[in-house]
Amino acid sequence: MANIPNLLGVHALVWVGGWSNEQATEAIKNSKEAGYGLIEIPALDPKSIDVAHTSKTLKEYGMKGACSLGLSFDADINNEDDEIAKRGEARLMDALTVVEQLGGDYLGGVVFSALGKYPKPTTPKAVENATNALRRLAQAASQRGITVGLEPVNRYETNLINTSQQALDMIANIGEKNVVVHLDVYHMNIEEQDLVSPVLAAGSQLGYVHIGASHRGPLGTGNIDFDSFFGALAKINYTGTITFESFSSAVVSPELSSTLGIWRNLWTDNKSMAKSAREYMEAQIVAAHA
């Protein structure tokens, strides 16, 4: 493998649609064999994860684990209703416990709202609920050595944070050091002016990166200007994790696939696809640092 400054990860949904013990073993083993050092495990339902099995298997394969999630509309900190916000916060705290028990140091994603299309803009009271819940989450995470990442996603998946600048503003309002920007080039390609200025704006506050094609299929296809994006990461000397995300109807998660609108079959051979994605990212990182 190339000598690069970043840990490369892969999202579990490249391999499996659920997280039974058999699926966990398969996903962790495949990630290792495709050359990755980290697997990102969806924690939409944190209590369903058998942490003993997962952490044992991660150790066995010498892999790191990170967790990501989006909240649901009935447990959403980005809501005016204090009860609904409280349920969202409880789910975040459960996810934090899972990360801790897996020996991980990262919880990210759409931790600030439900993952899905909101029927209207957010409100000041909902934003206040979200900000206060995230502050308590960050404080609890800090005690456990865990970083919390806010991932701006496109307008059809949240109404709260669609851009890098909105994430930076939220982090300033939270006021805790262990909250970072988590950029995903797939969403940036929809919402940002370009793929460089948001990276430069985030600078040292960029803490996690998702790489995906414009159609969320194999890397090296689609319309995203990866040269510019990896060039920007090199410019800020980004040394954090870079995780590959790709989704196809070939692997279905009952919870996540429909929310993300994964209707098409963009690949079937996930093993060769994930390996070539890892090689593509390595080549980009090497070229950007040359």
Does 192 bind Mn ion (CB under 5 A)? Our answer is no
* Residue 69: CB minimum distance to Mn ion, A: 11
64 or 210, CB closer to Mn ion?
210
C-beta of 12: minimal distance to Mn ion in Å?
13
Burial 69-98 (b: 16+ CB within 10 A, else e): bbbbeebbbbbeeeebbebbbebbeebbbb
Residue 151 a catalytic site member: yes
| Angle, in degrees to the nearest 10, between helices 124-143 and 82-101 | 20
Residue number, 76 or 184, with CB nearest to Mn ion: 184
CB-nearer residue toward Mn ion: 19 or 244: 244
Verify whether residue 33 is a known catalytic residue: no
Q: Contacts with Mn ion in 209-238 (CB under 5 A)? A: 210
* Residue 253 main-chain phi, psi, to 5 deg: -100, 120
- From 151, 157, 192, 282, the catalytic residue: 151
Closer residue to Mn ion, CB minimum distance, 66 or 171: 66
Q: How far is the CB of 59 from Mn ion (least distance, A)?
A: 26
CA distance 256 to 252: 8
Per CB under 5 A, the list member of 184, 246, 262, 273 interacting with Mn ion is 184
List residues with catalytic annotation: 151, 245
